Chain A
Amino acid sequence: MKTVVGALLNYRGAWQAMAPAMSQPPHHRPPVHPVLYLKPANTWSADGRPVVLPPDVPEVEVGAALGVVIGRAAARVRRADALGHVAGYRIVNDVTVPHATVLRPPLKQKCRDGFCPMGAVVPAARVPDPDALSIRAFVNGTLRRQASTRELIRDVATLIADITEFMTLDAGDVLLVGVPEDPPRARAGDRMAIEIDGLGRLENPLEAGEDAS
């Protein structure tokens, strides 16, 4: 795994929430291509590992994302061929500092140490339809958000085709298809959990970090 790339505004509800701002400065118009961001190596983490909140971050969004795991190099692939490049799927918590503006790349919002816990990879053969998976986000055991990948604007195959038009994804790379709008928020001491049909559960506690001083 070298690359974890995520798509913003790929749930219909997330797009609609942003739509009024899309026609205003500084955006002026809606995005034509997928809005993408990277979760770099310092963010990668695993099931059960604590997510440490930096002192300047009082709360985070629980980013319930379906992660598509690439199985063989995908470059300029057609939509019809796209799912043939998928090895499997995994639950990913795209932990995010809430931010209203999406003008500049979200390093401080999405790239903190440990902000990308990823669950076990489930082979694609055991996931018959990645575009019809129910997703549930929990805080301290309480169900706080429910969504489905049926609500994606670009489905898994379309997203792979649109991204690999300019960006090769290699075996092991992970593509996050999006986070549903209104993600639940959590604070230090809370337990975050995400479930996706057929993929199991990803659970991580949030801990308070030490002050820089």
Chain B
Amino acid sequence: MRTGRVGHGGALHAATPTPDGRVRLADGRVLDETEVLWLPPFEPRTIFALALNYGDHAAELAAKSSAEQAGFLQARPSEPIVFLKAANTLIGHRGLTRRPADAEFMHYECELAVVIGREGRRIPRARAIDHVGGYTVANDYAIRNFLEPYYRPNLRVKSRDGCTALGPWLVPRDEVPDPSALHLSTRVGGRLVQEGNTREMIHDVGALIEYLSAFMTLAPGDVILTGTPKGSVDVRPGEEVACEVQGVGRLLNRLVTDWPVAPPG
């Protein structure tokens, strides 16, 4: 069963979807999805994310970059480029993401998120799916002019407050028979800007679980954001971004303008 976590009426609730796309709270109430506050559908432990895991994304970014940057992006690594995100960066479905005043190129990244359900170490690729608990959709924002080539992609780009949306639902593994054949798309204000398929991943879900568990113990709640295909467009305050992964969900987010920081009271 798909599960989520929402706020309503002054409390947090476990929730499930109804067949007609509404939200059923554990106490039996049924609400429209705009009537609840969406949290990420589970509490993540370690958040892994992949850079350049779709070949066309790297080529696209290189084409838009300076020569110095392009060389960086085109150097095809022999192993996955994995980075970590901290808990501060997470928001749920229909969340708001601040575009900093000094951002020049800020883009969404629609990704399949794989949630670990069973602890494991040195998991062979052939058994990797046994350790998956479920899937959700991720929107892993990036601000390209904040990149610095030290432990890149650096936390100032990838672990910003409110810049990683997850949801709406945690979808159990059995509802996604083949995670390597899922269409991904992003629409900004209804306009299709990004499209791809998880079969185009350089390192697929099984390979990523095998790679990471070779040197770290994976545990329930760990989540792997598996990378994004090409189609990176600068997004502006007021725009609504919809990231969809076939059979997993459609995750909405809205960009908001930067705000002045009020002095502490």
Contacts and interface: CB of A to CB of B under 8 A. Distances in A.
Interface in B116-160: 121-122, 148-156, 159-160
State the main secondary structure of chain A at its contact with B: loop
Contact of B151 (A36, A76, A81, A212): A36
B105 interface: no
A38 B148 CA distance: 16
Interface stretch (A151-159, A167-175, A200-208): A167-175
B161 A166 contact: yes
B129 to A, nearest CB: 21
A105 B149 contact: no
Contacts of A40: 45-46, 84, 216
A168 B45 CA distance: 17
B155 A167 contact: yes
A29 B211 CA distance: 32
B261 interface: yes
B27 interface: no
Interface stretch (A1-9, A127-135, A140-148): A1-9
15 contacts: A2-B87, A35-B151, A37-B151, A40-B46, A41-B45, A41-B46, A41-B219, A42-B46, A102-B151, A104-B83, A111-B84, A166-B159, A167-B155, A170-B87, A212-B122
Nearest first, the 3 closest Cβ-Cβ pairs linking A and B are: A40-B46, A105-B83, A2-B87
Interface of B: 45-46, 68, 71-72, 77, 81-89, 100, 121-122, 148-156, 159-161, 212, 214-217, 219, 261, 264
Interface of A: 2-3, 5, 8-9, 25-28, 31-33, 35-38, 40-42, 54, 56, 75-77, 81, 102-108, 111-113, 166-170, 212
